[in-house]
A and B are shown apart, each in its own frame.
Chain A
Amino acid sequence: MYKALNSSLPTDREVVLGILNNSDETLNKLYRGYFPMILQFILNNNGNEDDAKDVFQESVIVLYNKIKAGDFELSSKLKTYIYSVCRRIWLKRLAQDHKKTNNINDYEDVLIVDDDLEKHDEQDRRLKKMNEALEGLGEPCKTIIQDFYLNNLSMQDISEKFGYTNTDNAKTQKYKCLQRLKKIFFNG
C-alpha cells in the first residue's frame, strides 16, 4: 500500500541532518511521508484521525529529542522507529482507556522503544507542569511571560504592548509574574 508513498519519503540521513539543523523543509517531508502509515495503524486499531494526529506528533517529538541528544543510530530504519514509537504510545492509551489491546493489527516490524518513551514521559510530565503553571497564572501574567520567554519580545516591546508608562513598571510586573510562576512550577 505504501509503494506510491515510499517515493516521497525523505531518506533517513536527510531527516537526521535536517532535524539537527532545525529545517522546516525536513519536518514537512517527514510529516507528509510518515503520517499516512500511522493514520492507517490508528484507524484500524480503534482510533480516529485526532488520535492519529496526537500520537504521530508525539512520536516526532520523541524522534527530535533523540536525534538532538545524538542517540539516534541509523542502523534502525527511521520508518520502523516511528512506527514502533507510535504503536507503543497507542497501546498505552488504549490500556489507559481500558480498551482491548490484544489483537492489534500490525503493518510494520516493531522495535523495543521503552527506554526512549520513558525519557519522553519524564520530559512530558515536566512540560505539562509548565503548561499548567502558565495556565494557572492568569492574565496579564500569562501573556507577559509567554511574550518574553516564548516569543522573545524585549521588555521595551512588552511595555508598549501593555501600555505601561515606563519599562520599569513592566519589569516590576514581569518580576511579580515570574515569582508566582516559579512558585507554582516548583511547588505545584
Chain B
Amino acid sequence: MRRDLELDAIIEDYLNGKLSAAEQEAFEQLRSNDPEVDEKVVSHKLFLEAMGEYAAQRELLDKMDQIHADMDVTGLSAKLGPHPSKIVNFWRRNRMGIAVAASFILLCSMVVENYLRQSKQVGSYEQLDRKIEKVKRSQDNLIRTVNSAAAADPEASLKPGSFGGTGFAISANGYVLTNYHVISGADSLYLQNNNGDSFRATPVFTDSQNDIAILKIDDKNFSAFAALPYTLKKGKTGIGEVVYTLGFPKDDAVLGEGYVSSVTGFNSDSIQYQVAVPVNPGNSGGPLLDNSGNIVGMISGKDNRPDGAAFAVKSKYILEAINSIPADSLNKKIAVSKRNLLSGLKRTQQVEKLQDYVFMVKVYKD
C-alpha cells in the first residue's frame, strides 16, 4: 500500500515532468524492466489527458456561462424569436404551404368566375314559355312505342310534347300576337281562351330578332271577335307608368301588375322595356297594358337571377311588325283597333273585358 502510493506519486511526477534527470533515468529503467509499472504509467497518462481535457472544457464552459449571464438574452429573444402573434408565426412557418393553397384557391375562383361569366352571357335571359309537364313522359312514350314496334294505338301513344305561352288578339278578324320563341319549332298551334275553347292557329309572320310572332286563327269554329277593347300605343312609355299583364303561367289566367322600371331591356336592349311585374314561365307573349287600356308592350322574358326583372317588347316594334307584313301574304287585313274601351274602368272590369282576347298558346312539337 505504502509502496503503491509512492509509485503513484512518482508516476504522476514523471508524467508531469517534475522528476530530476537522475530520478527520471532511474524510473525509466524501472519501467522498462517492470511491465506492471509500465502499464500503470500508460493508464495514468490516459487518465491525466482525459482529466486535462475535462478541466479545460469545464473552464471554457464556466467562462461562457459568465458571459451568457451578462447578456440580455431575454431582450434578444424578444427581438429574434418567433412573433408572439400566432397568426404571424403560422405565416412564417407555413409560408410555402399558404402560398400553394392561395394560388390553388385563386385558380379555382378564376375558373368558377369564368364559368359564371359564360353562363351569364348565355343563359341569364330566360324566355318565359312554359314547358307543360307531360313532355318528357310523352317523348319517352314515343320512344318506347317505336322501339317495341307495337303500333297498337298510335293516336293514343303519339302525344306530341306541349309548350305554352300567352297570346292576345290584335285585330277583330282573328290575328293574335305572341313571342316568336313561344312558337318556334312548333308543328301545330292551338289557342285556348279563358272559357276553355281551343282554336287552331297558323303563324303568318315571325320576327326572331324582335321576338314577335303573329298568328292567324284558322279554325272553322271561330267567328270574328267583337271589337277589341284596347289599342296599341304608338308613343313611348316612361319610367313609372303603372302597367299590368294577363297571362297563362298556369291553366287559368293570372294578372300581374307593376310599373315600367327602365326604358331599356336586358343588357340595355332598346327594343324592350324593363318592367317590375311578377312574371313566370307561361307569361311570354302576354299583353302589357297601361291604366288607360293601351297596349304598351308584350311580355317576353326575365332575368334569370332570383330577383331578376321582367322584360317586354315595346309596342312600337309590335306596330312595326304588323305594318311590315306584306299585304298579299294576308287574306284578311289586320285592322288594329282605334277605340279604347278600357279607359277609365276599374282593374276588375278591365280584366273582365280583356280576358276574352287573351289566349293560352299551346304549342305541339314532336
Contacts and interface: CB of A to CB of B under 8 A. Distances in A.
Contacts of B53: 123, 126-127
B54 A57 contact: no
B64 A149 contact: no
A96 interface: no
Contacts of A35: 68, 71, 76
A182 B43 contact: yes
Contact of A40 (B57, B58, B71, B80): B80
Contacts of A126: 50, 53
A127 B51 CA distance: 8
A186 B51 contact: no
Interface string B52-68: 01110110110110011
Contact of A130 (B8, B51, B74): B51
Interface in A4-40: 24, 27-28, 31-32, 35-36, 39-40
Which of B4, B9, B81 has its CB near the most chain A CB atoms (within 10 A)?
B81
Contacts of A49: 73-74, 77
A52 B8 CA distance: 43
Interface residues of B, number: 30
Contacts of A103: 93
Given A32-B71, A44-B92, A185 B82 contact: no
Given A44-B92, A130-B50, A27 B67 contact: yes
B222 interface: no
Contact of A36 (B54, B63, B80): B80
A130 B54 contact: yes
A39 B76 contact: yes
Interface string B312-343: 00000000000000000000000000000000
B231 to A, nearest CB: 81
A150 B92 contact: no
A57 B81 contact: no
A153 interface: no
B80 A172 contact: no
B225 interface: no
A175 B77 contact: no
B47 interface: yes
A148 to B, nearest CB: 10
Contact of A175 (B8, B71, B93): B8
A61 interface: yes
B5 interface: yes
A36 B78 CA distance: 11
A53 B81 contact: no
A43 B77 contact: yes
A131 B60 contact: no
Contacts of B61: 57, 61
Pairs A-B, 4 closest by C-beta atoms: A40-B80, A43-B81, A31-B67, A130-B54
Interface of A: 1, 24, 27-28, 31-32, 35-36, 39-40, 43-44, 49, 53, 57, 60-61, 64, 103, 105, 123, 126-127, 130-131, 149-150, 171-172, 175, 178, 182, 185-186
12 contacts: A27-B64, A32-B67, A32-B71, A36-B80, A40-B80, A44-B81, A127-B57, A131-B54, A149-B55, A150-B55, A171-B9, A185-B50
